């Protein structure tokens, strides 16, 4: 049997490069609670990403939950059904009602043209997702938010390093939330961050992620334990040294897929990146009716060859039991998302994917 090919593989620098970081941690015995590696990584990420303030977290989900707390969001929040469940779950964890709005057929991001119709007197915020790292229509979303006095929290879990014409895409909205999970472009095994525009908000977020503590005897909010450990922060510092190479490799893989799948009838490659800097975090294709196999048959065929493509995002969030009874979750309200969810397949893309391995994936798709 050939070596399995997964949808992604973490980018791991050589182990010996990590040992000096471990020695420092062992020597200092500072393992967590905002130690030196943590502080260094926050600054290094601000510099690398081109953002003003960033608070590290133990993972992206707790960062999303905390971002909503930081802005004291309540009531209803407009969001997309076409994402990983953590997006909507973060709302439920805060007792907020998600209101699902359909996506744009080209980007599969929240469709700004459909947002206004979903606004009610209870709406307080919009939570869009830069799906696959492709930027949302940030200007249109901000216009609506300004008109209706709504906050915008971007789930930017896929958008590490993505830039539009004005710089980092993470600078849009009130807050942006990153994930540094093992499967992401930049990983700290588990990890995440909130990007915020000012020092005061950053301070509130820092309190919230540390139980609400300001000092030994002062607790200002019912915070959570969302802190990133020194081990994870050290991994991040090391990863950052290799990130440019990793991005370049992803770009080459993306280009090869586009070139070789261009003539395949019924295979549509999404998001031919027009952003200034894309991160090529995923390679989603839509399997159209003109293709000889259904999406699921192609998924299975690849699997039979030990290639584990993934149907991100199927099922839709709105189809899971805790959401499907909601009026906005009804299929008739979300035709574009439902269609994409039935056709999408994310192909393997990661820095260590060898050219001959990618060729195997392409040949199987072309030979159907």
Give the binding site for ligand T4K (CB under 6 A): 6-10, 59-61, 83-84, 86-87, 129, 155, 157-158, 179, 181-183, 192, 308, 312
Name which of 118 and 182 has its Cβ closer to ligand T4K: 182
Residues 357, 348 contacting (CB under 8 angstroms): yes
- Smallest gap from Cβ 73 to ligand T4K, in A, equals 16
Residues 194, 57 contacting (CB under 8 angstroms): yes
Name which of 38 and 181 has its Cβ closer to ligand T4K: 181
Distance in angstroms (rounded) separating the CA atoms of residues 30 and 33:
8
Distance in angstroms (rounded) separating the CA atoms of residues 190 and 231:
10
Name which of 87 and 109 has its Cβ closer to ligand T4K: 87
Name which of 137 and 264 has its Cβ closer to ligand T4K: 137
Backbone angles phi, psi at 328, to 5 degrees: -70, -15
Name which of 126 and 291 has its Cβ closer to ligand T4K: 126
Name which of 182 and 364 has its Cβ closer to ligand T4K: 182
- Smallest gap from Cβ 349 to ligand T4K, in A, equals 11
Give Cα 304 distance to the centre of its chain. 29
- Smallest gap from Cβ 87 to ligand T4K, in A, equals 5
- Smallest gap from Cβ 308 to ligand T4K, in A, equals 5
Name which of 60 and 98 has its Cβ closer to ligand T4K: 60
List, in sequence order, the alpha helices (H) in the chain: 15-28, 36-49, 60-70, 86-92, 138-148, 199-208, 230-261, 295-304, 335-343, 355-367
277: helix, coil or strand?
A: strand
Tell whether the torsion through CA atoms of 323, 324, 325 and 327 is positive or negative: positive
Report the residue closest to ligand T4K, judged by CB: 60
- Smallest gap from Cβ 4 to ligand T4K, in A, equals 8
Question: How deeply is 91 buried, as exposed, middle or buried, from its count of CB atoms within 10 A (0-12, 13-18, 19+)?
Answer: buried
Residues 333, 102 contacting (CB under 8 angstroms): yes
Residues 11, 242 contacting (CB under 8 angstroms): yes
- Smallest gap from Cβ 360 to ligand T4K, in A, equals 17
Close Cβ partners of 106 (under 8 Å, ≥ 6 residues apart) = none
- Smallest gap from Cβ 147 to ligand T4K, in A, equals 26
């Amino acid at each position: 049997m050939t070596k399995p090919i997964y949808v992604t593989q973490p980018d791991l620098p050589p182990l010996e490069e990590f040992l000096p970081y471990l020695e420092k941690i062992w020597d200092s015995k500072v393992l967590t609670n905002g130690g030196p590696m943590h502080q260094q990584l926050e600054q290094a990420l601000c510099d690398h990403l081109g953002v003003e303030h960033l608070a590290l977290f133990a993972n992206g989900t707790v960062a999303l939950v905390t971002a909503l707390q930081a802005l004291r969001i309540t009531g209803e929040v407009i969001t997309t059904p076409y994402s990983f469940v953590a997006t909507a779950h973060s709302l439920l964890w805060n007792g907020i009602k998600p209101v699902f709005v359909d996506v744009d057929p080209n980007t599969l991001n929240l469709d700004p043209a459909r947002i206004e119709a979903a606004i009610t007197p209870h709406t307080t915020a919009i939570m869009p997702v830069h799906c696959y790292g492709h930027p949302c229509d940030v200007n249109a979303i901000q216009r609506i938010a300004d008109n209706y006095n709504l906050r915008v929290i971007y789930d930017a879990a896929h958008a590490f390093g993505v830039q539009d014409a004005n710089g980092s895409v993470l600078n849009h909205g009130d807050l942006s939330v990153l994930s540094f999970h093992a499967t992401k472009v930049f990983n700290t095994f588990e990890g995440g961050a909130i990007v915020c525009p000012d020092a005061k908000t950053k301070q509130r977020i820092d309190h919230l992620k540390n139980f609400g503590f300001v000092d030994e005897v002062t607790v200002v909010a019912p915070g959570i334990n969302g802190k990133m450990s020194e081990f994870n922060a050290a991994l991040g510092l090391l990863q950052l040294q290799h990130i440019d190479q990793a991005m370049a490799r992803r770009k080459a893989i993306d280009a090869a897929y586009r070139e070789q799948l261009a003539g395949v009838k019924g295979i549509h490659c999404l998001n031919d990146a027009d952003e200034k800097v894309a991160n090529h975090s995923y390679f989603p294709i839509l399997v159209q009716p003109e293709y000889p196999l259904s999406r699921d048959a192609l998924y299975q065929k690849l699997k039979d060859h030990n290639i584990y493509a993934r149907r991100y995002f199927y099922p839709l969030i709105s189809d899971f039991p805790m959401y499907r009874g909601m009026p906005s979750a009804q299929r008739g309200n979300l035709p574009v998302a439902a269609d994409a969810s039935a056709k999408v397949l994310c192909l393997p893309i990661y820095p260590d994917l060898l050219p001959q391995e990618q060729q195997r994936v392409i040949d199987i798709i072309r030979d159907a």
